[in-house]
Amino acid sequence: MPLIRVSWGTAMQTVGLLPHEGKPEALATTEAFITLLRKAGFTPRLEERTASRLGHPAFGVAPEAFVEGLDLVIALGGDGALLRAAHRVYPREIPLFGVNFGHVGFLAEVEAQEVAEAVRRLRAGEYRVEDRLMVAASVGRPGTTPLVALNDVVIAKRGQARMISLAIVLNGVTLTEYRADGLIVATPTGSTAYSLSAGGPILQPTLAALVVTPVCAHALHARPLVLGAEEEVTVRILAPHEEVVLVADGYETLALLPGDEIHFRRATAVTRLLRFTGPGFYELLRERFRAGKL
């Protein structure tokens, strides 16, 4: 399974800032970024509501115009904020990086106290950009919109619903059927998230692959599968169950119906994550293992 593209620093000018507005520290760090970016010759951009709230209306634009012409997006608030930013820029492939505020994660690139050094490295071109595969899920039913995720798309039951009966079809071949609490189709980036907690493998994040992981399956033969990214996975909802949903990256949802077929495949665009020189994936993995965070 080949690696996907990694490129090196190029010139940037307009930088979008997407803070988690429920976190005061994220808003304070956004203020610091605005000052640092302007001094370094960048043009900051915010959504007009955020810009007005921070007292910088000149840098605000309407939400629908936010991503137009951006060279970079900085998500402030941890891995969840970066996942939402990935959805926001899709399919334009604008580079992203995240600022973390004390929570464990693999996606956020810098801590809040490191923002000045981050801006210096941006201006000096001391970074690389990794392309991360995304997964798309479409339901074979009129009126539905495909969901796209950087981490994972999950078939899940709501509340106290019964187990879900599923058929797994790979490239047109029905591989197996089983009952489970759900099913996760994860990217390599998402292999360290929900899929890992359900018993899935950890994949090197720039691999071109997908992971199919059952959640609490009522069958000994139901095991995680690692597939090439060009393969298509179809999951069929076999039995009439209520309150089954499709969830992309933990927050974008679509209600499913009995008999629905969900088609999972590599998305047409990637998420481009900006990385500074520092600990690599395996160093981060070692730190998480030592700290008991995985």
From the candidates 79, 131, 152, 249, give the one annotated as an active-site residue.
Answer: 79
Q: Which strands make up the sheet holding 225-228, listed edge to edge?
A: 225-228, 209-215, 182-186, 152-157, 244-248, 252-256
- State the Cα–Cα distance between residues 119 and 154, nearest whole angstrom: 36
* Chain position carrying tokens 């620093």: 9
Q: Which strands make up the sheet holding 147-149, listed edge to edge?
A: 147-149, 135-139, 261-266, 233-237, 164-170, 173-180
- State the Cα–Cα distance between residues 192 and 171, nearest whole angstrom: 26
- State the Cα–Cα distance between residues 156 and 257, nearest whole angstrom: 12
181 is catalytic: no
Quickly list DSSP for 8-55. Answer: E-----EEEEEE-TT-HHHHHHHHHHHHHHHHTT-EEEEEHHHHHHTT
The residues annotated as belonging to the active site are 79
